Amino acid sequence: MRIQLLSSLLFLLPASVLLAQEEGSVAFKVGTVLTMDGQEFSPGTVIVEHGRITAVGGGDLEIPFDVLLKEYPDATLFPGFSEAHTSSGLDRANENVPIAPFLNVKDSIDPVSFYFEDELRNGTTAIGVIPGNNCVIGGLGRVVAPAGMTVEAMTLDDAMGMKVAIGPKSGWSRSAQLAEMREAIGTLHKDLVRKGQDLLHKGKVIVDKEKADEADDEPEDDGDMWDLTGGFVRYGEDFPGKELISEEDVDVTQRGLVRLLNGEERLWLWCPTSTDVFHGRHWAEELGLLDQVVFVVTPSAWKAADILKSSGRPVALTGGLWHVENDPITWEEVRTFVPTILHEAGIPFSIASDKSRMGPDKLGYQAAVCVREGIPRATALAAVTTVPALLWGMEDRSGALKVGADGNFVLMDGDPLDIGAKVLQVWLRGVKAYDRESDERLQRMLEGRSR
% of residues, the chain, pLDDT over 70: 88
Residues 6+ apart with CB under 8 A from 120: 146, 147, 426, 433, 434
User: Where in the chain is CATH 2.30.40.10?
Assistant: 1-79+400-451
What's the whole-number mean pLDDT along residues 207-226?
A: 53
- Residue 8 or 411, more confident: 411
Compute φ and ψ for 45, nearest 5 degrees.
-135, 135
Q: Is the pLDDT reported for residue 379 higher than 70?
A: yes
pLDDT at position 16 over 50: no
What's the pLDDT score for residue 55?
96
Of 308, 316, 49, 267, the closest CA to residue 163 belongs to 267
d(CA 168, CA 170): 6
Q: What residue type is assigned to position 101 of the chain?
A: P
> What average pLDDT score do residues 274-302 get?
97
Mean pLDDT throughout 365-374?
97
Predicted local confidence at residue 22, as pLDDT:
46
Closest by alpha carbon to 365, among 415, 313, 400, 411? 415
Contact 366, 82 (CB under 8 A): no
| Spatial contact of 338 and 369, defined as CB atoms under 8 Å apart | no
pLDDT for 329 equals 86
Task: Compare 312 and 360 and report the one with higher pLDDT.
Answer: 312
β-bridge mates for residue 409, sequence order? 427
- Using the predicted structure, report yes or no on whether residue 35 has a pLDDT greater than 70: yes
Answer for the pair 380, 417: CB distance below 8 angstroms, yes or no.
yes
> Residue 4 has what pLDDT?
47
Give one word for 312, left, alpha or beta, with left for phi > 0 and alpha for psi -120 to 50: left
Q: Is the pLDDT reported for residue 447 higher than 90? A: no
Please confirm whether the linkage preceding 43 is cis (ω < 30° from 0). Answer: yes
Instruction: Tell me which residue of 269, 261, 99, 244 sits closest to 189, measured CA to CA.
Output: 261
* Mean pLDDT, residues 178-182: 95
Would you mind telling me the total number of residues written for the chain in this entry? 451
**Tens digit of pLDDT for each residue in 124-142?**
999 999 999 999 999 999 9
pLDDT exceeds cutoff 50 at 12? no
**Which residue from 272, 276, 273, 292 is spatially nearest to 284, judged by alpha carbons?**
292
pLDDT over 70 (residue 164): yes
pLDDT at 375 over 80: yes
- CATH 3.20.20.140 placement within the chain: 81-396
Confidence of residue 202 (pLDDT cuts 50, 70, 90): confident
**What's the whole-number mean pLDDT along residues 358-384?**
95
Is the distance from CB of 268 to CB of 141 less than 8 angstroms?
Answer: yes
**pLDDT, position 217:** 54
Averaged pLDDT score across all residues of the chain: 89
For residue range 263-279, what is the model confidence (pLDDT) as tens digits? 999 999 999 999 999 99
pLDDT tens digits, residue range 55-75? Answer: 999 999 999 988 999 999 999
Name the maximum alpha-carbon separation found in the chain: 95
Amino acid 95: pLDDT:
86
pLDDT of residue 258: 96
pLDDT band at 328 (very low <50, low <70, confident <90, very high): confident
306, amino acid identity: D
DSSP state of 248: G
State what percent of residues in the chain have pLDDT above 90.
Answer: 78
Q: Which amino acid is at 77?
A: L
Region 343-353: what's the mean pLDDT? 97
Question: Mean pLDDT over residues 5-21, rounded?
Answer: 40
**With 80 as the cut, is the pLDDT of residue 345 above it?**
yes
User: Model-level pTM?
Assistant: 0.88
Higher per-residue confidence, 355 vs 36: 36
Instruction: Choose between 123 and 3: higher pLDDT.
Output: 123
CA–CA separation, 33 vs 164, rounded Å?
Answer: 38
Hey, what CATH class is 1-79+400-451 in?
mainly beta
Residue 17 scores a pLDDT above 50 = no
User: How is domain 81-396 classified at the CATH fold level?
Assistant: TIM Barrel (3.20.20)
> What's the number of CA atoms in the CB half-sphere (13 Å) around residue 410?
31
* pLDDT score of 6: 37
How much is the pLDDT for 218? Answer: 52
Phi, psi of 280 (to 5 degrees): -65, -45
Q: Rounded distance, CA 409 to CA 400, Å?
A: 9
